[in-house]
Amino acid sequence: MPRDYSSSLNPSQLEAVYATEGPVLVIAGAGSGKTRTIVYRLAHLVEEGVDPSSILLLTFTRKASQEMLQRASDLLGEGRGLGRVQGGTFHAFAYGMLRRYTPPGWPERLTVIDRSDAESLIREAKGELGFGKGDRSFPKASTILDNVSKSRNKEQQLRDIVSNESFHLLPYVDEIETMSVEYEKKKKQCGMLDYDDLLFALETLLRSDEALLSNIRDRFKHVMVDEYQDTNLVQARLVELIAGKHGNVMAVGDDAQSIYSFRGANVQNILSFPQVFPGTKTIRLERNYRSTQPILSFTNQILAQSSILYEKKLWTEDSGGAVPQIVRPLSDLSQARLVAGKVVELMKEHSPGEVAVLFRAGYQSYHLEVELNKLGIRFAKFGGLKYTEAAHIKDVLSFVRILRNPSDTPSWHRVLAPIKGVGPKTSQKLVTSLLSGDRDFVDSWRKKRPDLDALLGFLDELRSREMSPGTLLERIVEFYTPQLEERYPDDYPRREAGLEELLQIAAGYSELDLFLADLSLENPEPRGSEREDVVTLSTIHSSKGLEWNAVCIIDLIEDRFPSRHAMNRVEEFEEERRLLYVACTRARQYLALFVPKAVYRRGKEITEPATASPFVREIAGEFYEEWQENYTGGLSMAKGAPEYRRPPSALTPPSGAPSAGSRSSSSSPKPAPAPAPDPSKMGFCNHKVFGRGKIVAVIPPDKYRVNFPGFGLKVILAQYLELENT
């Protein structure tokens, strides 16, 4: 007889555990005990007499499925294990099926190739087609494969993927498309499947064999899918195929934590689940077991402004705790010092391993890394290389190190590496000759290699002039930039952002030796249990699934969070909102968001006002404390309404868009349709964040360019504007 779990689970969790018939959608808010719910449901099914072999558990990592099955087995006790449950990743399940059944159009004996094998096929195709000969800027096989994989997972044209996500590779898009076609041919000829093929081949198999599909449905009476918000289109179709329209299928996930669209994840899968599976029972897990109520109230406000998510309000019985802080540094240059100071303060109350600093992109932590190194605070960085480990940063700093120490042999080899015709042996001879004063050998090579002549002439010029570290680095980066595009053609736009941060760091120094010393201070990478004793620096994407007592989030300003690219597309803008929600819900006891008032503009040599992130501007003042940096470098609590917020009346949803309170709890959310701009309406409009503005241009098919007093020109989707009658 099934046990009573009411003492172990809250009412919503119990409802999900006992809902075993028909389609069920569990919207599991952050920290709401999602895994615990799945574990107890597995145990309950077996206790009800369900054959474990008729249960299919699909997850995104093997570790997740193994943990769930082990915990459920422990709950059931000895002799009632779940060893016969089919549990694992989508890809592992697909591989198991394809080993037994051959999809149409494929040889009977199939081989699954790994990433390195796939790249080898791409290189083979490149050689046979004669592409990229003598062109050092031609994209690497790994980059081509990345774009091909994105095209498959997003089910978009390869040309569109390159155009939208790797625009710097557009000159090679024809060759990339041709190589993709050749890559597919080679796999078919050799009976090979890559990682992405597994899912599509299984779909083809199931759609082509009705008897097999019927057998699969008969076998798996209960299908459970974890992290449903992370599924891509083909994974969602496979769930529909295996479970059937009215099968016993439970999807568990949180639409508000769908942040992996760059991998192909499609939030519409979870949003449209009730339409795909008629009669779906939707259950919300809203009780949070991680964070304090002030933090949850703050994060609820982030989601309240979105009209395309399932309505949910996280709550906890822990009503105490510190109110989240919004900290306003005077500029992005002083932000790192304030954050480092806050980390020192937090480490008095929490162990280093319980303190984290999160950011949108890896390069945004570079200033902070320097500050932490100065203070001797050890840290581990996740999601992006540590500042001094990035190849392009090492390249540029090699120029500086040679100027300070002409005997720095490794730096010489690094700056000589890009010169054509100068290999390791010649480089060694050149360095030896340069340091010993053998001008004849050096001059002979300067005549043969104009690039070498230019390099040595450039170094002589720098050595002959007195410059501040900031000016010196500007000259070096200007000289180095053509090399950047040639040496790292696949991702040089991303690396350019890192160089910009280096220039800003250098601008804060008056002594070159001190600049180099601060960058060179050792912070050895912690290993194993040592990570419990270090502060965590992490991109938000890498932080998902983790939690800390104290969390600081930096760079909450427009163009950085949300990113500039995301400001023009509603889907990407809303994913950035979800990204901030994920970041905030990592915090258990303390949460701070840093919003610089200004950013330093290199080249202009000025500091310009920064616009606070729209996600911050939308949050009502009663949900946080605002602290401002004063001109003596300290922090003081701000008085009165935050300067960047509009009156509450300006924060109401635009006309025609559903408000947070109007969303139905029984139906799937639907985004408001975007009306096409009317060229005749060039008057005034209202925006829920920026207030009243003047329309200055129409941008087909669905945008306006609007001038907002105090905020300047903005390109806004029509659905977010309320047009005034003209």
Query: Could you give the angle at the alpha carbon of 617 between the alpha carbons of 682 and 367, nearest 5°?
Result: 115
pLDDT category at 679 given cuts 50, 70, 90 is: low
Gap between the Cα atoms of 182 and 326, Å rounded: 53
Average pLDDT over residues 334-339: 93
| Sign for the pseudo-dihedral over CA of 417, 423, 425, 427 | negative
Percent of the chain with pLDDT over 90: 38
Query: Could you give the angle at the alpha carbon of 612 between the alpha carbons of 610 and 617, nearest 5°?
Result: 155
3-state secondary structure of 633: coil
Full-model pTM: 0.78
Residue 671: pLDDT over 50: no
Instruction: Assess contact for 378 and 526: CB atoms under 8 A.
Output: yes
3-state secondary structure of 227: coil
Q: Binding site residues, as ranges?
A: 28-35
Residue 568: pLDDT over 50: yes
Q: Binding site residues for ATP, as ranges?
A: 28-35
Write down the mean pLDDT value for the chain. Answer: 84
Q: Per residue in 487-509, pLDDT tens?
A: 887 777 778 877 887 887 787 77
Instruction: Assess contact for 669 and 307: CB atoms under 8 A.
Output: yes
Q: Per residue in 576-604, pLDDT tens?
A: 999 999 999 999 999 999 999 988 776 55
Gap between the Cα atoms of 609 and 85, Å rounded: 58
Q: Per residue in 626-642, pLDDT tens?
A: 999 988 878 888 876 55
Gap between the Cα atoms of 561 and 594, Å rounded: 11
The reply to whether domains 11-99+198-285 and 293-385+529-637 share a CATH topology is: yes
Q: Per residue in 430-481, pLDDT tens?
A: 888 887 777 888 788 888 888 888 888 888 888 888 888 888 888 898 898 8
In DSSP terms, which residues pair with 693 in a beta bridge? 685
Architecture of domain 11-99+198-285: 3-Layer(aba) Sandwich (3.40)
| Closest by Cα among 346, 390, 388 to 370 | 388
User: What is the model's pLDDT at position 246?
Assistant: 81
Domain residue spans of the chain: 11-99+198-285, 113-190, 293-385+529-637, 389-518, 684-723
Integer angstrom CA distances of residue 25 from 64, 283, 290 = 19, 6, 22
The answer to whether domain 389-518 has CATH 1.10.8.620 is no
Query: Could you give the angle at the alpha carbon of 572 between the alpha carbons of 567 and 575, nearest 5°?
Result: 120
3-state secondary structure of 627: strand
User: What is the model's pLDDT at position 202?
Assistant: 93
The answer to whether domain 293-385+529-637 has CATH 3.40.50.300 is yes
